Amino acid sequence: MTDVTHTQLFIGGQWQDSLSGEEFSICNPARPDEVVGFAANGNVADIDAACESAAAAFPQWSSLSYQERAAYLHRVAEHLVADAVELEKRISLFTREHGKILQEASIEMRRFGDRFLLCADYAERLEQDEQLQGPPFDTVITRQARGVAALVVPWNWPISILGAKLPQALMAGNTVVIKPSKESALAPALTIGRVAEVLPAGVVNLVTGSSSRIGDPLLTHPLVRTINFTGSVPVGRHVMKMAADNLVPVTLELGGNDAGLILEDAELDADAFRRMYLASFMSSGQICMALKRIYVHRSRYDELVDGLSAVCSQQVVGDGLLPETTMGPVNNRGQYDIVIGMIEQAKRAGAEVRELGQVPDQDLYDRGYFQKPTLVLNPDAALDIVKEEQFGPAVPIIPFDTEEEAIGFANDSEFGLCSSVWTPDRERAMNIARKLEAGYTYLNGHGPLAQDGRAPFGGFKSSGIGRNLGFEGIQAFQEPHAISAPAGWLL
């Protein structure tokens, strides 16, 4: 429990200290005075070294065939879980620095390799050039890797999110420089190191450190040819401005305020409530694709509030390392303050707020960044808990009267990441889904447990630009290249 981990940078095939020798500390959000470890605090010179190393590795990596790169991706997937003792340590380190319960940390870590295998499966499809037969021209459309990709991931789901961009970038033929968040850098650094270790030197590089010091130098580095960012809307806007300097394409996966529409005929049994609870509260609600606004037909409102309250009441809030805990703390003080602020605002406005769940260790609860699973009943639509992304363990429940009204509520948002429709009526579900402004609509489910890992993922409006995952997620790291000649000669 008292282990202190030190992680380094990984550049040019080697673990190394930052050039300044500096580190920064990461604390346990369940026990904020406990330092879990120290990560290397990179600076501009480290970013230069990482980008140069990635650029040097690019010609050889990009000239491998898709099958050859797929073979490397298979090796990565094996290596990630090859040492059971190392893996267990990495998982518990992840829980300690992040706060998420051990079971979630374990799933996130153990499923990471699956994303590499999914990408490797696309090798044959990627080999197929498109052909346009003449006259007047015969044209072959191939795709080329862009070059060095800068990958920036947030703290909430650093490994899963990396799984939506790193294997894709590699399969497409790019080399990468990765910057994790200072709020969860240790277990991600060790995991990225295991990926990098089995690849040719320079293909995967890792720089940890303060965003104010290394963020912009990475985004504007002349050797970076594409940026793939996941994080908040304000930083996403900033990334796009920075990318303008070198005219570098961006993929932005930003915030969400996902609505779920529970229709009058929805099947609301114990299993549905459990799935709905997890959709909103898994990882203490700190998931981009979490169910963040629940709209329910007025005729089912009381039933839904009672059902969800019952599931929330069973939860045990505490240290994620303890086996009985089902919900851990919020990851950091800033995020905790945002969520608490929204709950307090709703209380002041007169909304009924139910703070549910059990707290076995009140002293720990008071010291850490804990908040019980919280339901905010029928709040005014102008309140932040409805309008903004809460990114924490609180969800508003709001009744509606007609289908049109429900669709209007869902789309009345600056965000458009995901949404869901809950009804046994397939045709109606599809009709409503087509009207929702979202990159992904789940039917009778919501969030990670309802997500098809083969499908493209991304958002409308302020939720982002472009797509990760799926075949589209690989193509996002490439440029089309047309090669043509007068008809009859090439094809």
- Residues with a known catalytic role: 253, 288
Judged by beta carbon distances under 5 to 8 A according to partner kind, the member of ligand NAP, Mg ion, none in contact with residue 257 is Mg ion
Residue type, 278: L
Judged by beta carbon distances under 5 to 8 A according to partner kind, the member of ligand NAP, Mg ion, none in contact with residue 230 is ligand NAP
CA 205 to chain centre: 20
Give the shortest CB-216-to-ligand NAP separation in angstroms. 5
Closest CA to 39 of 149, 175, 183: 183
Give the shortest CB-153-to-ligand NAP separation in angstroms. 6
Q: Give the strands of the sheet with 14-16, arranged side by side.
A: 14-16, 9-11, 204-206, 175-179, 148-152, 224-230, 250-253, 464-465
How many other CB atoms are found less than 10 A from the CB of residue 251?
24
Instruction: Write the Ramachandran bin of 21: left for phi over 0, alpha for psi from -120 to 50, otherwise beta.
Output: left
Q: How far is 320 from 425, CA to CA, in rounded Å?
A: 39
Listed in order, strand segments (DSSP E) in 146-201 are 148-152, 175-179
> Of 199 and 386, which has the nearer Cβ to Mg ion?
386
Judged by beta carbon distances under 5 to 8 A according to partner kind, the member of Mg ion, ligand NAP, none in contact with residue 215 is ligand NAP
Give the shortest CB-425-to-ligand NAP separation in angstroms. 29
Judged by beta carbon distances under 5 to 8 A according to partner kind, the member of Mg ion, ligand NAP, none in contact with residue 95 is none
β-bridge pairing 460-461 and 415-416: antiparallel
> Of 100 and 387, which has the nearer Cβ to Mg ion?
387
Judged by beta carbon distances under 5 to 8 A according to partner kind, the member of ligand NAP, Mg ion, none in contact with residue 255 is ligand NAP
> Of 381 and 430, which has the nearer Cβ to Mg ion?
381
> Of 230 and 478, which has the nearer Cβ to ligand NAP?
230
CB burial readout 52-83, b (16+ within 10 A) else e: bbbbebbeebbeeebeebbebbebbbebbeee
Judged by beta carbon distances under 5 to 8 A according to partner kind, the member of Mg ion, ligand NAP, none in contact with residue 390 is Mg ion
Burial class of 190 by CB neighbour count within 10 A (0 to 12, 13 to 18, 19+): buried
Give the shortest CB-257-to-ligand NAP separation in angstroms. 9
The tokens describing 458, both together, are: 């991304």
100 strand-pairing partners: none
**Measured at CB, which residue is nearest to ligand NAP?**
215
Give the shortest CB-32-to-Mg ion separation in angstroms. 25
> Of 181 and 326, which has the nearer Cβ to ligand NAP?
181
* Contact positions vs Mg ion (CB under 5 A): 257, 292, 390
Cis peptide upstream of residue 135 (ω within 30 degrees of 0) = yes
How many other CB atoms are found less than 10 A from the CB of residue 107?
17
* Contact positions vs ligand NAP (CB under 6 A): 152-157, 161, 179-183, 211, 215-216, 218-219, 230-232, 235, 238, 253-256, 288, 389, 391, 417, 459, 464
> Of 5 and 257, which has the nearer Cβ to Mg ion?
257
Give the shortest CB-393-to-Mg ion separation in angstroms. 12
